[in-house]
Amino acid sequence: MKSEPLRYSFYFKSELHPEEIRWRWKDESDHEANKHKTFKPKISDLKILSEVPKELRTEIRRELYNDIVECEG
């Protein structure tokens, strides 16, 4: 995992992976995600920082995205 500042990352408890997943917004969407209430995230805006099996990475991003959208709605 690339060493990135903790202040820019979040943690998510996945049902697909036993350890907490560290993630952040991609650089292109970071400002909007943190400053604008009308920001509509896309799955491609999410960057998984934790080491997870390659075959689970897409499913975990989808799970995280659904969790974010569900909480916002």
- pLDDT at residue 33, rounded to an integer: 72
Give the pLDDT of the chain (73 residues) as one tens digit per residue.
456 566 689 999 999 999 999 999 888 887 777 776 778 889 999 999 999 999 999 999 999 999 998 887 6
Task: Please name the residue ranges forming H helices in the chain.
Answer: 27-35, 54-72
- pLDDT at residue 65, rounded to an integer: 95
